[in-house]
Amino acid sequence: MLELPESPLAGDATGRTAGQVRLREVRARDLALFYRHQVDAEAAHMAAFPPRNEHDFFLHWQRVLRNARVIKRTIVHDARVAGNIVGFEEAGRMLIGYWLGRDHWGRGVATRALRQFLELVTQRPVYAFVAKRNRASLRVLQKCGFEIVDEGHAERPGSGEAVPELALVLRAPVSDSRNSATTLRDAP
């Protein structure tokens, strides 16, 4: 389990701070809360990812938990399960994704969790895709050194709706990420 020291900079513009943020292994009992997070209508709209029904959600997470190649962690904020973060390979690229419960938004939790996760995921480059309308997630990724390298549209699962999306990449280790400038075309 990784834990970063408290930072007076962690938090939002109102000064609300993240408190203690740490990552731990995902436990089966976390899944019910993960399910509730992803059915939150506001969160699903912002992420442009429709919630899975309960059956499909738990089947998906059973596959994730069985897959040793997926790096998965529970985000814990002030001793409460706040969300999850995963790293997985797809089409030869390492991708990351996370989902944070609304009770934990706007406090620097996602940024601190992602920084910790990027210490676990040492492979570079790392890619992330975010709905263009999800300004909060875009800000989290950029604070962690990800840079926008492409813009396009992704088909929203289930509806076929084309959602404006940004592709981001982190090429350098976290400490050096501000010095990297790349394009998606440069990706291996």
pLDDT in tens, 88-144: 999 999 999 999 999 999 999 999 999 999 999 999 999 999 999 999 999 999 999
CB 10 within 8 A of CB 110: no
Local confidence band at 47 (pLDDT 50, 70, 90 cut-offs)? confident
The C-alpha atoms of residue 148 and residue 182 are separated, in whole angstroms, by: 9
| Count of structural domains within the chain | 1
Q: Examine residue 15 and state whether it is found in any structural domain, yes or no.
A: no
The C-alpha atoms of residue 78 and residue 57 are separated, in whole angstroms, by: 26
Q: Examine residue 1 and state whether it is found in any structural domain, yes or no.
A: no
Q: Examine residue 14 and state whether it is found in any structural domain, yes or no.
A: no
Does the pLDDT at position 162 exceed 60? yes
Q: Examine residue 126 and state whether it is found in any structural domain, yes or no.
A: yes
pLDDT of 64 reads: 97
The C-alpha atoms of residue 134 and residue 128 are separated, in whole angstroms, by: 13
Does the pLDDT at position 18 exceed 70? no
Does the pLDDT at position 24 exceed 80? yes
Local confidence band at 179 (pLDDT 50, 70, 90 cut-offs)? very low
Q: Examine residue 3 and state whether it is found in any structural domain, yes or no.
A: no
The C-alpha atoms of residue 80 and residue 104 are separated, in whole angstroms, by: 10
pLDDT of 78 reads: 95
Local confidence band at 19 (pLDDT 50, 70, 90 cut-offs)? confident
Give per-residue pLDDT as tens, 163-176: 899 999 999 765 54
CATH code, 137: 3.40.630.30
Local confidence band at 6 (pLDDT 50, 70, 90 cut-offs)? very low
Give per-residue pLDDT as tens, 55-89: 999 999 999 999 999 999 999 999 999 999 999 99
Q: Examine residue 166 and state whether it is found in any structural domain, yes or no.
A: yes
Local confidence band at 23 (pLDDT 50, 70, 90 cut-offs)? very high
Structural domain boundaries, residue 141? 21-186
Q: Examine residue 60 and state whether it is found in any structural domain, yes or no.
A: yes
Residue 154: HSE in the Cβ half-sphere, 13 Å Cα cutoff? 18
